[in-house]
């Protein structure tokens, strides 16, 4: 059993032009819902800064990371170089739905950004997943969560919905002050 730590937020190379990395505590939760094995091939739609891509690349066979923003692809590449993981990841600068057209062999699909194309990405991805594969959607917008649940139910799957509210403490002289991170909803489902 190999233990991989979660990479701390402040170790990532960041730019103002790209969101992320997903906070380390949330990355840990996404990993748990993804049920990763070292045989997995993961598709990360909306890789942003590469926060989740780096966590997947450490743990699985290979990763396809998709983002339509060239700055996101460049930033994810820099982080993969920094952590020595470039050999595990194929970076694809394209809209998620279109990029999925050309990928056949994945076992887990993680959607962290979808623009207006969430339903298309879920439907296309779900059809291509093998039975037992998993789809995970991280959402900071309520509508993303409800749309995901609706589409997954229409596809005959049984989505699980968990809302995470994480607060982090700042240790001050007079005590520990808790600060809330943005709540995040994780929708996950197994391909039946
Ligand atoms: N999980 C990432 C942060 C994701 S931010 C991290 O840990 O670093 C969401 C990203 O999704 C943004 O970079 C945005 O460009 C991308 N995105 C949004 N809609 C998209 C779509 N339809 N296709 C591809 N990428 C998309």
Cis peptide before 21 (omega within 30 of 0): yes
Tens digits of per-residue pLDDT, 34-72?
999 999 999 999 999 999 999 999 999 999 999 999 999
Tens digits of per-residue pLDDT, 92-125?
999 999 999 999 999 999 999 999 999 999 999 9
Instruction: Give distance in angstroms: CA of 99 to centre of ligand 1.
Output: 13
Other Cβ atoms less than 10 A from the Cβ of 123: the count is 16
pLDDT at 115: 93
Residue of 11, 21, 48 best suited for mutating to test ligand 1, as the one with most atoms within 8 Å of CB: 48
Tell me how far apart the alpha carbons of residues 185 and 34 are, in angstroms, rounded to a whole number.
14
Q: Quick one: average pLDDT of 158-177?
A: 97
The residues lining ligand 1, judged by C-beta closer than 6 Å to any ligand atom, are 18-22, 45-52, 66-69, 72, 95-96, 112-115, 117
Q: Quick one: average pLDDT of 6-24?
A: 97
pTM over 0.95: yes
């Amino acid at each position: 059993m190999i233990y991989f730590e979660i990479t701390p937020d402040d170790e990532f190379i960041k730019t103002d032009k790209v969101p992320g990395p997903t906070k380390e505590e949330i990355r840990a939760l996404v990993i748990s819902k993804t049920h990763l094995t070292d045989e997995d091939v993961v598709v990360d739609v909306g890789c942003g800064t590469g926060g989740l891509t780096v966590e997947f690349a450490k743990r699985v066979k290979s990763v396809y990371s998709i983002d339509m923003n060239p700055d996101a692809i460049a930033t994810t590449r820099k982080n993969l170089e920094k952590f020595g993981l470039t050999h595990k990841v194929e970076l694809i600068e394209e809209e998620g739905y279109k990029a999925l057209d050309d990928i056949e062999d994945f076992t887990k699909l993680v959607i962290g950004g979808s623009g207006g194309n969430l339903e298309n990405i879920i439907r296309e991805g779900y059809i291509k997943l093998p039975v037992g594969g998993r789809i995970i959607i991280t959402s900071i917008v309520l509508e993303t969560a409800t749309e995901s649940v609706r589409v997954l139910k229409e596809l005959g799957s049984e989505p699980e919905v968990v809302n995470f509210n994480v607060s982090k403490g700042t240790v001050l002289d007079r005590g520990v002050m808790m600060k809330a991170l943005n709540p995040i909803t994780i929708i996950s489902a197994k391909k039946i």
